[in-house]
């Protein structure tokens, strides 16, 4: 495989201020990052209310905001929570809201070239797909610090290059990606299939996405 499976007994780095939030040296991470205009603020606010309500119905929030309550959940409940709200997010992203400029091959190529530039040197890049308004990827990093620096580099560099082409300035990406450490070989294969199938689910035509499959 691309890297190691998450080891629950090994050191795990969690930090809400960094991106990605969860990291473990050598472990495979599945990451989704999206354009800033892909999910409107009112939708995010509605999901915040729905997450609070979900926890309230199970008497699990105790008056805190949903993000604070997540750390108190048992593994099974947390997995159920993540499945439900991750599905909402992915369906919404696949509806291609926002300008969706990454449909343009010359812009998606900027992202693809950046992701592959230091593959085999600073990180091991797995499969990825560049959708019109978001990116899914699998990767493994030697250290938590390497992961943090690389994501900062990817987001900063690609935003600058894309803005130069489209004649805009400012933030292009939402600054906090969604991340998940891969916990089994079965899950790894599931995520590879998810990446490969994503364009078809979103009803995209050839040329409206960029798919990269890591050689076996």
Give the dihedral sign, CA 64/68/72/73: positive
Kindly state the DSSP code that residue 101 receives in the 8-state scheme.
Answer: G
- Note the helical H segments in 20-143: 41-57, 66-70, 75-94, 105-117
| Cβ(195)–Cβ(127) below 8 Å | yes
- Determine the Cα–Cα distance for residues 25 and 146; give it in Å rounded to an integer: 9
More confident of the two residues 152 and 204: 204
Buried b (16+ CB within 10 A) or exposed e, 1-27: ebbebbeeeeeebeeeebbbebbbbeb
> Confidence band (pLDDT; 50, 70, 90) for 3?
confident
Residue ranges of alpha helices (H) inside 102-178 are 105-117, 144-166
Token pair belonging to 100: 């969706």
For 3-17, 51-65, 124-138, 186-200, which range has the lowest pLDDT when averaged over its residues? 3-17
**CA-to-CA distance for 93 and 112, rounded, in angstroms?**
19
Q: Is 104 exposed, middle or buried (0-12, 13-18, 19+ CB in 10 A)?
A: middle
Residues 6+ apart with CB under 8 A from 150: 118, 122, 123, 141
Write down the pTM of the prediction. 0.86
| pLDDT above 90 for 56 | yes
* pLDDT band per the 50, 70, 90 thresholds, residue 184: confident
Least confident of 133-147, 154-168, 200-214: 133-147
């Amino acid at each position: 495989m691309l890297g190691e499976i998450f080891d629950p007994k090994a050191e795990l780095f969690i930090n809400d201020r960094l991106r990605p939030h969860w990291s473990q040296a050598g472990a495979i991470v599945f990451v989704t990052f999206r354009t800033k205009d892909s999910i409107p603020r009112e939708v995010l606010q509605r999901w915040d209310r729905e997450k609070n309500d979900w926890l309230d119905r199970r008497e699990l929030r105790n008056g805190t905001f949903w993000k604070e309550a997540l750390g108190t959940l048992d593994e099974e409940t947390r997995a159920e929570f993540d499945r439900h709200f991750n599905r909402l997010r992915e369906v919404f992203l696949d509806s291609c809201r926002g300008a969706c400029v990454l449909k343009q091959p010359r812009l998606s190529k900027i992202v693809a070239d950046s992701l592959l530039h230091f593959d085999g040197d600073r990180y091991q890049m797995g499969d990825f797909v560049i959708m019109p308004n978001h990116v899914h990827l699998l990767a493994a990093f030697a250290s938590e610090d390497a992961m943090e620096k690389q994501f900062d580099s990817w987001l900063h560099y690609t935003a600058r290059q894309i803005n130069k082409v489209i004649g805009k300035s400012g933030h292009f990406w939402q600054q906090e990606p969604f991340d998940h450490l891969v916990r089994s070989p079965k899950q790894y294969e599931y995520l590879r299939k998810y990446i490969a199938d994503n364009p078809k689910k979103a009803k995209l035509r050839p040329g409206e996405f960029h798919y990269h499959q890591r050689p076996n």
